[in-house]
Amino acid sequence: MPAGTRGFVLRAPEQTIGQPTGPISAQVRKALSNRLILSRLTAAHIARLRNTFELIEGELFTMAPGALSVIHHCISLLLIEIWRTSGPTHDEISVRPQQIADDFLHLVELHLQSHRTVKEYAQRIGVSRDRLNSAVRRAIGTSPNQHIQLRLMEEAKTLLLHSALSISEIAYKLGYNDAAYFNRFFHRHAGMAPGRFRKSKQKLSGPTSKKPSFAAWP
């Protein structure tokens, strides 16, 4: 590539970019998670990529009404175009159960506080809800919904035991706008209210021992 060649740099967090949904979504994410060197771009490919970049750039500059929606869809088109130029095969397009489960577990970690439904995760991965359920059960032994509930409980218990946040602050941090709803959720899974859980664990751990000061040294 000669010096002075013009290029584009586009940065966006994974949670906000308009990644494509449907059967190819997992393959697009997998391909773009690695460095791609597109050495055999045709003039048509280059033109489409340039036009999409320039459209995104224009929308970011003007920020006209609906600009964010336009950018969201443009990024989806851009990612699909880049994925196409990487030369995917038909065998790669068929989603394997382990890949489905891996994508689900990854997405849950990204969107745990958003409380997305199993149906929404299935749509994002590009499979049916039944196929997602089957793949996840085979991989980890629990249903997708059970895994989501388990992860929320793990995060709730960690915050209760290792932070000074109030119950309402923990509820908000985990995506619950209503602390009472969080209390009911926690009680249903732990058999006790979050405040009682915190106190019971604090009693078991006993008083915190004081660290010796330098003054106590001989």
- Tokens found for residue 44: 């048509």
Angle formed by the axes of helices 97-111 and 144-162, nearest 10°: 40
Q: Rounded CA gap, 167 and 178, in Å?
A: 11
Q: Are 3 and 61 in contact (CB under 8 A)?
A: no
Q: Which CATH architecture has domain 144-206?
A: Orthogonal Bundle (1.10)
Q: Are 14 and 110 in contact (CB under 8 A)?
A: yes
Domain ranges for the chain: 25-93, 100-141, 144-206
Mean pLDDT by groups of 10 residues along the chain of 218 residues? 65 58 62 67 82 89 87 82 68 70 91 94 87 94 96 96 94 94 96 94 62 46
Q: Are 126 and 89 in contact (CB under 8 A)?
A: no
Where does 113-210 show beta strands of DSSP type E? Answer: none
Q: Rounded CA gap, 132 and 104, in Å?
A: 8
Q: What is the pLDDT of residue 138?
A: 94
pTM of the model: 0.57
